[in-house]
Amino acid sequence: MNRKHLMRSLLSILFVLLTANGLCQTITDQKFIDLSNDSSSVSIPFYGGLNGYYAYRIPTIIKTKTTLVVFAEGRKNSTSDFGDIDLVYRRSLDKGRTWEPLQVLHDLDTLAVQNPVPIYVAKENKIVLLFNTTSLSEHDILNKEYGLKNERKAFLTSSSDDGKTWDIPKDITRQVKRKTWRWHALGPVHGIQLQYGRFAGRLVAPVAISIEKGNTAYCMALVYSDDQGTNWKIGAVDENISDAVRANETTISELNDGRIYVNTRDHKGGSAEKNRGETLSIDGGLTFEKPIVESDKFPSPIVQSALLSYNDRVFFSTPSSYDKRENLIIMVSHDHTETWLPFYKVHNGFSAYSDMVQLDENTLGVIYETDEYKKIRFRSIVLE
């Protein structure tokens, strides 16, 4: 057994022992490689006041052959989830050290453009981007009567020149949203293109939905495309509102055996120390292998988190306090998401939504909200 595999085995044994003693519920900073005080590999692509926006939220990131493209919601007047919100982006040609000027991708005057979900189509070096628009707040969508003309809508655009230009957005609402669904929020995190098995090439993205009136009917679904993003279909759907998991914002990752691992925010459904739900799909996102179950593997609050498959490992980024959005960490799994180990502490203090990207064979990039939603930082990490 070489040194690398010996260390993995020892870490796995340590994790099992900690779990058996209940100590996994109180993960401490000492178990991480602490990067939080190192600012040498950090840049700030979005910050309050940039180009007249009060704040930026909901970051997500994708990499083409030559370019990093980071997306966010540019919120004109406040940090509120509803109001005058534009879909904006910036590009980097040097792996996130510097960023080109801010660009507005979609603006609907005073309405909200939200939930960017980029997917990289490797063979064509193309970015496919899904997003939502809305004229109503989340509260109104969940609780009031309205017609289909005022439902949350889903759109598709793409870029074949590394994000320099974008196609005119196309309305795909009826392809990815049933008329009976009230809430409909794509991502918000990158989607994936499957690499293994009979569904290789398929694009898959997660979506948060609600299936009846009221504030507690949150569920989730997967949507997919078999023609590089031109047309979309609804795949696996979680419609169970009697279980412990109120599935909401979801992140997905393909394992190297072809299964899709699904990790979802539990929106006030489970216990105080089980704020995530998990399941798998073994048929390319068409169905779930098993119902979503609540998990205590992750020291997360109720928040969006992110997954990234990286060779034979899977990474998971999340704040690390059960009741606060703070202290962003990255965890790692070496066994197809069965167990998770603490890996890096990325940020000390307030930190919320995040996303990750593979920069090269040895470098990971993570983008995340900080400073009470007033800054979005990007950090590159040379992997141990």
Residue 12: predicted pLDDT:
43
Domain boundaries, the chain: 1-31, 32-382
Residues 6+ apart with CB under 8 A from 8: 334
pLDDT, one tens digit per residue, over 5-55 is 444 444 443 443 333 333 333 444 447 899 999 999 999 999 999 999 999
pLDDT, one tens digit per residue, over 336-380 is 999 999 999 999 999 999 999 999 999 999 999 999 999 999 999
pTM of the complete model: 0.92
Residue 316: predicted pLDDT:
98
Would you call 360 exposed, middle or buried from its count of C-beta atoms within 10 A (0-12, 13-18, 19+)? exposed
Residue 11: predicted pLDDT:
44
Per the CB < 8 A criterion, the answer to whether 365 and 68 are in contact is yes
Question: Which CATH class for the 32-382 domain?
Answer: mainly beta
> CA 273 from chain center: how many Å?
21
Residues of the chain with pLDDT under 50: 1-30
Between the alpha carbon of residue 149 and those of residues 108, 176, 179, 294, 338, the distances in Å are: 15, 16, 11, 36, 44
